[in-house]
Amino acid sequence: MIVQKVTRKFDYSDLDLDFIAHPTSKDVVKKKGFDAIKRSIRNLVLTNFYDKPFRSYIGSNVQKILFDNINPFTAIFLRDAIEEVITNFEPRVKLREDVSNGIVVNVSSDNNGYDVTISFTILNTGAPVTFSLFLERLR
């Protein structure tokens, strides 16, 4: 008897928090693959401590840091806070070592914020992913 090993492709999925309805089924659209992980990282970066009931330890100081003066030193603190929250709470990814520990924060004084580029590798696939965020304080 020959036994074939069937490999299953594992894909990550998550709800799209924009709550856009699917055009035909009218159900909430799901984010899949890279997009689900990008959304998860974005949510982690923008979550404050104590925002999640019964899980007050999940979050970062990013929102607090955004209210500091906009300068290169604050950009370093911001990069460290983003690195810490991704390393601690996103087990599906590994930040890329070759690109400034995977996170590049550029000061955008004209727009009163920071351009953040996050580069990581998804552990199951080994595929490198890069995406950008613009972080500014809420008014």
- pTM as predicted: 0.83
Please tell me the predicted confidence (pLDDT) of residue 109: 86
- Residue extents of the structural domains in the chain: 13-136
Q: SS3 string of 40-64? A: HHHHHHHCECCCCCCCCCCCECHHH
Asked whether the predicted pLDDT for residue 84 surpasses 70, the reply is yes
Task: Give 13-72 pLDDT, tens digit per residue.
Answer: 777 777 778 788 878 878 888 888 899 999 999 999 988 889 889 989 899 999 999 999
Burial class (CB in 10 A: 0-12, 13-18, 19+), 105: buried
Q: Are 22 and 115 in contact (CB under 8 A)?
A: no
CATH number for domain 13-136, candidates 3.10.450.40, 3.30.420.40, 2.40.50.100, 1.20.1250.20: 3.10.450.40
- Helix, strand, or coil here: 90? coil
74/114 Cα distance (integer angstroms)? 10
Q: At what angle do helices 34-46 and 72-89 cross, to 10 degrees?
A: 120
pLDDT for 41 equals: 92
CA distance 105 to 89: 20
